[in-house]
C-alpha cells in the first residue's frame, strides 16, 4: 500500500469545502530507524502495539499450541523472530513499490510501519496508467515471491524450529499479497483497478472515484462482517475487522478527495494564496511590544524577524503563547524566533500544490515565500483551506 504524502496533511471531508488540516507528524510519521537505498524507514507509535500483539499471538497462539514440547521461552523467542521477519518483509513490500515509483520519476518521502501494516509515502501521483499498474503490482508480486521462498526454506530445512518459523512467514506473506489485491482504494488492488479504468476512459478523476467507491464498499463489508462475527459469533476478532473496515473506508474517501485537492491547487501560484508580508520585526524587539504593536493591531499571525545580518526566521502567535505574560517585557523576539530552513522555503513562482507538499512533509505550520531573496509572504494550512473552500463552493475542481 502507498499513499501520496499530502494525504496525512489535508483531508477534504466533503466536496463543499470543509477542510481538516492534520500535521503529518500526527498521522504516519514516527520514529526513524534508518534508511534503505536512501529511503527513510520509520515506525509509527501505533506499530509498537501491533508488534507486541502479533508477537504474543504467534508465540502463544501458534507455537504454544502446535509445538507444546518446546519450552515456553522458546515460544516467545520464536514469536519475536517470526514477527521481525514478517515486518521486514512488509518493509520490502513497500520498497518494491518505491523502486518502481522512483523509476517513474516519483520521489519517495519515506516508508512508515503503522498499526495496519506499511505505507510508502509518494510525493506525487503517477502520470500514466501503466506506471501506476506496475507500481501497484510490485508489492503483491514481491509478497507472493517472499511467501514461495519462505515455504521452500521451510520444506528443505532439516531443523524443525526453522521450518516452523518460515512456514508461518510464508503464510503471512501470502495473506498480505492476497488481501492487497482486493480491488478497492487504498489497497494495491484498488490501484490496479484505477489504472485499468484510467487506461480505458483516460479520465483520472472518474477512475479514482470508481476505485474510491470500491474501497468504501469493501470497508463497509468488513465492518458488517466484524459486527456479525462479534454479535452472532461472540468472536472478539470482529472488533479488529470493524476497525480495519473503518480505516479502509476513510482512506478510500480521502484518496478521492486528495485528487480533488491536487487538481485545485496545481497551477495556482503561491503568491495568489499566501499571506503577504509588508512589515518585519527587529530581533531585539520585546515580545510585549510585538504583541501590542503588531499582533493586536493587524490580522497577521506571523512576522519575519530581521537582525543585522538579514532575515533570520519567523515569529508566530503560537510562539508567543509559550512565554508567560510576566516575561514578555524582558524576552526578545529573537529568542523565540523559528529559523527559516530550506525545507520550509519556496520560490514565489511555485504553485500551491508544491507548498501543500512541503507542509505535508517537513513544515507542519508555515512555508516562507521568497522572491529574489526577500521574504514576501507565508503560506499555512489556513491559506490552502480558504482556497479549497472557495473553489468547492464555486464548483471548480481544477486550477483555472
Residue ranges and CATH numbers for the domains of the chain are 2-265 (no CATH), 270-393 (3.10.580.10)
Answer whether residue 2 shows pLDDT above 70. no
Give the pLDDT score at 190. 92
pLDDT per residue over 119-146, tens digit each? 888 877 788 999 999 999 999 999 999 9
What is the C-alpha separation between 197 and 207, in angstroms, rounded?
Answer: 5
Mean pLDDT of the region 28-36: 74
| Phi, psi dihedral angles at 82 (to 5 degrees) | -60, -40
**For the CA atoms of 361, 367, 372, 374, what is the dihedral angle to 10 degrees?**
-140
- Which positions ≥6 away from 118 have C-beta within 8 Å? 1, 87, 90, 91, 93, 94, 111, 112
Asked whether the beta carbons of 217 and 209 are under 8 A apart, the reply is no
pTM above 0.75, yes or no: no
The C-alpha cell that represents 32 in the structure block: 526513524
Q: Determine the pLDDT at residue 97.
A: 93
Amino acid at each position: 500500500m502507498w499513499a501520496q504524502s499530502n494525504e496525512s496533511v489535508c483531508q477534504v471531508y466533503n466536496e463543499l469545502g470543509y477542510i481538516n488540516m492534520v500535521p503529518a507528524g500526527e498521522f504516519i510519521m514516527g520514529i526513524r530507524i534508518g534508511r534503505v537505498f536512501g529511503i527513510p524507514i520509520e515506525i509509527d507509535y501505533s506499530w509498537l502495539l501491533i508488534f507486541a500483539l502479533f508477537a504474543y499471538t504467534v508465540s502463544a497462539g501458534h507455537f504454544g499450541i502446535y509445538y507444546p514440547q518446546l519450552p515456553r521461552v522458546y515460544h516467545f523467542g520464536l514469536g519475536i523472530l517470526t514477527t521481525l521477519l514478517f515486518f521486514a518483509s512488509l518493509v520490502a513490500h513497500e520498497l518494491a513499490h518505491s523502486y518502481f515509483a522512483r523509476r517513474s520519476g516519483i520521489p519517495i518521502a519515506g516508508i512508515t510501519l503503522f498499526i495496519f501494516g506499511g505505507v510508502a509515502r509518494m510525493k506525487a501521483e503517477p502520470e500514466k496508467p501503466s506506471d501506476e499498474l506496475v507500481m501497484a503490482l510490485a508489492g503483491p508480486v514481491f509478497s507472493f515471491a517472499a511467501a514461495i521462498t519462505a515455504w521452500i526454506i521451510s520444506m528443505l530445512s532439516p531443523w524443525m524450529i526453522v521450518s516452523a518459523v518460515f512456514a508461518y512467514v510464508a503464510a503471512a506473506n501470502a495473506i498480505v499479497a492476497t488481501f492487497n489485491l482486493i480491488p478497492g482504494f487504498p489497497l494495491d488492488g484498488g490501484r490496479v483497478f484505477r489504472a485499468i479504468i484510467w487506461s480505458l476512459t483516460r479520465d483520472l478523476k472518474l477512475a479514482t472515484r470508481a476505485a474510491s467507491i470500491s474501497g468504501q464498499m469493501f470497508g463497509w463489508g468488513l465492518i458488517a462482517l466484524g459486527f456479525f462475527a462479534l454479535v452472532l459469533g461472540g468472536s472478539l476478532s470482529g472488533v479488529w475487522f470493524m476497525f480495519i473496515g473503518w480505516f479502509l473506508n476513510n482512506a478510500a474517501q480521502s484518496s478521492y478527495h486528495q485528487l480533488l485537492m491536487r487538481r485545485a491547487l496545481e497551477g495556482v501560484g503561491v503568491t495568489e494564496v499566501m499571506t503577504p508580508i509588508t512589515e518585519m520585526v527587529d530581533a531585539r524587539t520585546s515580545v510585549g511590544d510585538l504583541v501590542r504593536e503588531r499582533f493586536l493591531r493587524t490580522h497577521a499571525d506571523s512576522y519575519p524577524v530581521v537582525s543585522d545580518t538579514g532575515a533570520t526566521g519567523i515569529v508566530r502567535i503560537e510562539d508567543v503563547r509559550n512565554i508567560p505574560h510576566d516575561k514578555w517585557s524582558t524576552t526578545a523576539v529573537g529568542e523565540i524566533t523559528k529559523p527559516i530552513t530550506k525545507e520550509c522555503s519556496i520560490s514565489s513562482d511555485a504553485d500551491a500544490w508544491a507548498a501543500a507538499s512541503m507542509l505535508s512533509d517537513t513544515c507542519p505550520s508555515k512555508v516562507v515565500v521568497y522572491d529574489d531573496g526577500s521574504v514576501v509572504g507565508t503560506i499555512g494550512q489556513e491559506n490552502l483551506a480558504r482556497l479549497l473552500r472557495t473553489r468547492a463552493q464555486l464548483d471548480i475542481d481544477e486550477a483555472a
